[in-house]
């Protein structure tokens, strides 16, 4: 049964601005489907269908030469609204260490600092927060997800790279001086795809990373001041 005929879209080609795929954590989708006729679906099946949705929508976007964005369901609705109505607004991917603080006494404080930087960024930019998808958290808490940890890990990595691809800049924030293979890989991907890199690391050097940032600060206050100087003003449409 065909859910969509591209021929129908061709009739509104001159009104198409962009394509959006709204995604959610696998376990959240599973929970919602339990109360529908779809019933108890395997989480791996849902994860694969989520990828299919992204692929097919991207295919349509390429066909009509329009941008395609992935937006997490847990992100504020303003994220989606701004992509549609304010396409000039800067798009930023927020990178930060996750596993380094998991289960430690610093986890709560670190998460609060990360969210403060994220929410400040949202004053000027559309921010893609990888933590809006909670597959990583639940991988070792839900038995069925433990069995598909490898697949979910690969999906998470590729999805985060896609968030970087649809951004203009990567903002990496470290509340404390820790190492992070994930952030290191994201910095490398951002560099190879031509993104501007901002890094805050609480030392006088740019941290133990293989990819140097374009802009660096060693404190959160300096970092926010730097980001404001670069982004404020870009969040408004300019006269052509």
Contacts of 27 (CB under 8 A, 6+ apart): 43, 134, 135, 138, 142, 145
Which range has the top average pLDDT, 9-23, 100-114, 127-141, 204-218? 9-23
The predicted structure's pLDDT at residue 240: 45
Over residues 88-104, the pLDDT tens digits come to 999 999 999 977 777 67
Q: Which two tokens stand for residue 73?
A: 């369901």
* DSSP code of residue 239: P
Contacts of 229 (CB under 8 A, 6+ apart): none
Q: How many CA atoms lie within 13 A of 115 on its CB side?
A: 9
Q: Contact at 8 Å (CB) between 176 and 169? A: no
Mean pLDDT of 161-170: 97
Q: Taking the model in full, what pTM does it have?
A: 0.90
The predicted structure's pLDDT at residue 238: 65
- pLDDT value at 136 more than 80: no
How does the average pLDDT of the chain come out, rounded? 90
Rounded Cα distance between 143 and 95, Å, is: 28
In CATH, what class is 6-231? alpha beta
Mean pLDDT of 182-205: 93
pLDDT category at 122 given cuts 50, 70, 90 is very high
* DSSP code of residue 130: G
- pLDDT value at 214 more than 90: yes
pLDDT category at 147 given cuts 50, 70, 90 is confident
Domain segments of the chain: what residues? Answer: 6-231
Beta strands in the chain (DSSP E): 19-23, 68-72, 91-95, 126-128, 169-173, 196-200, 215-217
The predicted structure's pLDDT at residue 66: 95
Over residues 43-90, the pLDDT tens digits come to 899 999 999 999 999 999 999 999 999 999 999 999 999 999 999 999
């Amino acid at each position: 049964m065909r859910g969509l005929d591209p021929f129908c879209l061709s009739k509104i080609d001159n009104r198409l601005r962009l394509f959006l795929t709204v995604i959610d954590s696998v376990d959240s989708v599973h929970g919602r489907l339990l109360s529908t006729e779809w019933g108890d679906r395997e989480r791996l099946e849902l994860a694969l269908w989520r990828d299919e949705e992204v692929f097919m929508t991207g295919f349509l976007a390429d066909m009509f030469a329009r941008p395609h964005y992935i937006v997490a369901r847990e992100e504020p609705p303003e994220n989606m609204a701004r992509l549609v109505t304010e396409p000039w607004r800067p798009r930023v991917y927020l990178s930060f260490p996750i596993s380094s603080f998991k289960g430690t006494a610093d986890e709560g404080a670190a998460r609060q600092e990360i969210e403060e930087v994220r929410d400040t960024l949202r004053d000027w930019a559309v921010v893609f927060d990888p933590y809006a998808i909670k597959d990583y958290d639940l991988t070792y808490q839900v038995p069925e997800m433990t069995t598909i940890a490898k697949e979910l890990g690969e999906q998470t990595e590729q999805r985060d790279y896609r968030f970087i691809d649809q951004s203009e800049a990567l903002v990496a924030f470290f509340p404390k001086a820790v190492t992070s293979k994930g952030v290191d890989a994201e910095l490398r991907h951002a560099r190879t795809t031509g993104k501007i890199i901002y890094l805050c690391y609480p030392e006088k050097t740019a941290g133990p990373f293989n990819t140097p940032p374009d802009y660096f600060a060693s404190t959160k206050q300096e970092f926010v001041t730097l980001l404001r100087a670069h982004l404020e003003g870009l969040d408004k449409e300019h006269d052509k």
